[in-house]
Amino acid sequence: MTNEYGDAMYQPKRLILLLFLLAPFSANAVIISGTGGTGSDATLAGGTLIDFESTAPGQYASITINDVTFTDPGGDEFDIDGDYAGNFNTRGTQSMSNDFDQFPDQFRFDFAAPVRAFGFNWGASDNDWTMDVYDGTDSLLETHTLTKVRRSNAGDYFGAGTDTVGTSISYVILTDLKDRRPLGDYVFIDDFRYVFPDPDDPIVIPEPDIPDEPVIIDPSIPPLPGRITPIPEPGIIALFGLGLAGLGFARRRKA
């Protein structure tokens, strides 16, 4: 079947399916938050825990523990020690905090390999902070405001997890917005957990929304440059085969 320009009428559903498969998926992440500590979150279940218990107390500009490197992008030092242990959502005998005197206003977490999810206990914040989550191409997957938790000791935690096939988290940056205390904020981080992607997770691609009703092609619209070669329907292929068989039979009778 052709239009008035002599071009084959393509199957609309096939074109829609092709466009769906070629269209890029938007990468993003889902925010994880709650109370009860990171150990209570199902998304982080089975993940690796960094509790800072075996880290030598001191001030660090950068430190790598297991698969995570902790730094302050501004070059300031942060503390790992036992100050206020058991308070401000810290657990155990040690935690990480920005130094009370220097007030570094950023933290950065770099993962040695991309992770599927991460989370950390967050305590004592009197300012709002932003949490920016990036993938390995430096694309921003998600940004979220860590609201003030102040004196809470309910195990407030924040984090993020990916919800898109093929998307993982490579690094995270926390930034003090200084909305209440312009000179800086004194905060604590503890029970940092992360989960690597599971290679056995099934890959699920959503089905395209293809309309059941036929699409009417307006013959008054000139075709796009180039021709779209129609894909023969099974019925057409069968009729073509029968035609060839009949032609051969007729030639054999004449012979």
Report pLDDT digits (tens) over 13-68. Answer: 454 444 444 444 456 899 999 999 999 999 999 999 999 999 999 999 999 999 99
Tokens read off for 243: 């035609």
- Residue spans of the domains in the chain: they are 29-195
Say how far apart CA 110 and CA 68 lie, in whole Å.
6
* Its pTM surpasses 0.75: no
Give the pLDDT confidence of 230-247 residue by residue, as tens digits.
555 555 555 556 565 555
Q: List the Cα angle 190/39/189 in 5-degree steps.
A: 10
Q: Quick check: 179 pLDDT over 70? A: yes
Both tokens of 130, joined, read 């932003």
CATH architecture of 29-195: Sandwich (2.60)
Per DSSP, which regions of the chain are E strands?
Answer: 29-34, 48-50, 58-60, 62-65, 68-71, 78-81, 95-98, 106-115, 117-123, 129-134, 140-146, 157-162, 169-176, 188-195
Mean pLDDT of 93-113: 89
Statement: residue 203 has pLDDT above 70: no
Distance between start and end Cα atoms, the chain: 36
Helix (H) or strand (E) holding 226: none
pLDDT winner (highest mean) among 5-14, 120-129, 200-209, 246-255: 120-129
For 76, residues 6+ apart whose C-beta sits below 8 A from its C-beta are 61, 98, 99, 102, 103, 104
